Structure 1
Amino acid sequence: MKLQANGIQIEVDDSGADGSQNERPVVLLIMGLGMQLIGWPPDFVQPLVDAGFRVVRYDNRDIGLSQGFEHAGKHSLVWQTLRQRIGLRVRSAYTLQDMANDALGVLDALGVQRAHVIGASMGGMIAQRLAATAPDRVRSLTSIMSSSGARGLPGPHPEIARSLMRRPAGRSEDALVDFSVGFIKLIASPAYPYEASALATRVRTGIRRAYRPDGVVRQMLAIGADSDRPTVLSRIKSPTLVLHGEADKLVPLECGQDSARRIPGARFVTIPGMGHDLPPQVSAILLDHIIPFVRSAGEAP
């Protein structure tokens, strides 16, 4: 369903849309770079519902079925990356704080006063911003495979960094699927591989729902422009759990460690064999940590 949030149209999936879960504590899921709300797989969402939570997930701006920012144009990713390397400000169409305000707008539109907020990758960065700037709205914060964004932290493995700059071999659906599957395999959890046909089907479903590569570039630039988040993290007062894969080659383990170090009282947990994805086995391991944490952090079922 579409909601008006922070002045724009946001596509939302709410497990309590029929009103049957209004008394349940809300878990707000925020997905990462270029990922749609369906990037939160059913084997992550349903156990939260079964545990007694109302689960809300949404497409970030410029991705999926939410409002796009084509009118804002697209800065050169290569040029803006060079600017960042020499210490100049990255120019972006919007900021991660704007995206955090979108999340707040979703809660407002649903009439939710407070939520447990879970973010993955870029979604973790947005969740960090939300917890820091609207502390009265965040019961707890869970940051998964994310980063503080501090200068000097290690970046993606060189092969992955090169892949981020590549483009598909063609515009056909099969070419787009092959390209996306290839990238996912680069960042995937080595101890928990996907079944090949299931991965291809999942990717194809996402492409058919929405394919918006220019939105991905604008989101990447928003991440690059978010230079002051390291200092903002000290403002977070919500109970915080930071989860990170030990085999993450896109956002290395040190990035999660630094996030936890900067957030007062944060608990840091590493997951052996986990990369930068959510295969079924990894979802189960994460939820073994998340569900007890969320229950202990606020009014829980």
Structure 2
Amino acid sequence: MLVRVAHWMTHVEHDLRSPVWRPWLDRLGRELEVVRYDERGCGLSGSDDVPLELDTAVEELAAVVAATGAPRVALLGQSGAAGPAVAYAVRHPERVSHLVLLGGYLAGLLHRAPSPEALAFHDASLRLVELGWGRNDPAVQQFFTTRFIPDASLDEARALNEQQRLSCGAARAVQIMRARAALDVRLLAPLVRCPTLVMHAEGDQIVPVGLGQDLAAAIPGARFVTLPTRNHIPLAADPGFELFCRTVTAFVRPDGIKPALTARELELAELVAQGLDNLQIAARLGVADKTVRNALSTLYAKLQVEGRPQAVVRTRELGLGGS
């Protein structure tokens, strides 16, 4: 079971028809049971007067995990939800089997020694949200959509524009943005003890990839994977979307999706995992280079990868290559 920790701009009903989020649910749902919920004051969740702090988010998550009835769950913490996912994993280690973090960070803007220009941009963004978030004004909404998913199709951009309006009102959006800027799990991250996968879009404009690298470095034994996209939310057409979904699934359920390989294919996969090129593999197996190319094509199909880089990642996920 994979619990998607609540993050900004979700609506559990709208997600089901959104070209942004529906592909996630369809693809991850093939092999994982995905549990979703809306952050308080967003989507279908009611709001209250409780401050939007780290403890508030952890309390929500704890209630959802308890409601699943599962003894242990995997957590997916994206963007501002990475912090609450880390905090929950530290406070309730017996309930978390795996931790997956996407586009996350250790600390919000206010804890990163921001420049005066960065603070001014943040304040201007807050003011824009305050005045224009709930209005039916595509120009205002598009400002944020362009930053979140710069390579979106027209349909995807329209869907995220609409999701901004549906997710919450202007006042709640401002509260969420302030809470994210004040988030800080720098002291908690080194205390994580469950297997952790940190993924980040290499061209992310919302959360620079360096912040994701810092997050991975702070968590003992965490694995870091970059995704070849500029989108903070990986989209179905992104070259990294399938890599993201497959890597998450393999990480959470490593024994549930192993492909059926022959003994010869397993030997070939082992050499791929070691990083050998075609000529080296041919020499090791005592076959012609053309034979290796043909065998690799068959192997890639079974592994459901598109080329050597993805094959290396996939075979290592399966425990090959000694890494």
TM-score greater than 0.5 by the shorter chain: yes
Counterpart check, 1:230 vs 2:186 = yes
Aligned residue in 1 for 2:128:
166
1:247 to 191, 203, 215: 203
User: Rg larger in 1 or in 2?
Assistant: 2
1:217 to 170, 174, 177: 174
Aligned residue in 2 for 1:48:
28
The 5 A counterparts of 1:1-301 are: 26-37=1-12, 38=15, 41-51=21-31, 53-69=32-48, 71=49, 93-149=51-107, 151-152=111-112, 161=122, 162-167=124-129, 174-175=136-137, 177-189=138-150, 193-204=151-162, 207=165, 209-227=166-184, 229-282=185-238, 283-296=241-254, 300=256
Distance 1:54 1:171 in 2: 33
Distance 1:232 1:33 in 2: 22
Deviation digits for residues 50-72 of structure 1, max 9, x if unmatched? 12x21101101121111212x46
Please state whether the residue corresponding to 1:181 is helix, strand or coil: helix
Structure with more contact order per residue of length (Cα contacts < 8 Å, sep ≥ 6): 1
Structure 1 segments (4+ residues) deviating >6 Å: none
Question: What's the CA shift for 1:284?
Answer: 2.5
**Structure (1 or 2) with the greater strand fraction:** 1
Distance 2:190 2:133 in 1: 44
1:255 maps to amino acid: L
Q: Normalised by the size of structure 1, how large is the TM-score?
A: 0.72
Distance 1:101 1:116 in 2: 17
Please state whether the residue corresponding to 2:84 is helix, strand or coil: helix
2:168 maps to amino acid: Y
1:41 maps to amino acid: W
Question: What's the CA shift for 1:36?
Answer: 3.5
Distance 2:69 2:35 in 1: 12
Deviation digits for residues 199-229 of structure 1, max 9, x if unmatched? 214532563x4432222222233334433x1
Distance 2:73 2:199 in 1: 19
1:226–1:254: structure 2 CA closer, same or farther, 3 Å change rule? same
**Structure (1 or 2) with the greater helix fraction:** 2
Distance 1:274 1:28 in 2: 25
Is this contact kept in 2: 1:139–1:239, CA < 8 A?
Answer: yes
1:260–1:210: structure 2 CA closer, same or farther, 3 Å change rule? closer
Q: CA RMSD in A?
A: 2.8
Aligned residue in 2 for 1:14:
none
Please state whether the residue corresponding to 2:243 is helix, strand or coil: helix
Question: What's the CA shift for 1:181?
Answer: 2.3
Aligned residues, how many?
A: 245
1:210–1:103: structure 2 CA closer, same or farther, 3 Å change rule? same
Distance 1:154 1:50 in 2: 42
Is this contact kept in 2: 1:32–1:122, CA < 8 A?
Answer: yes
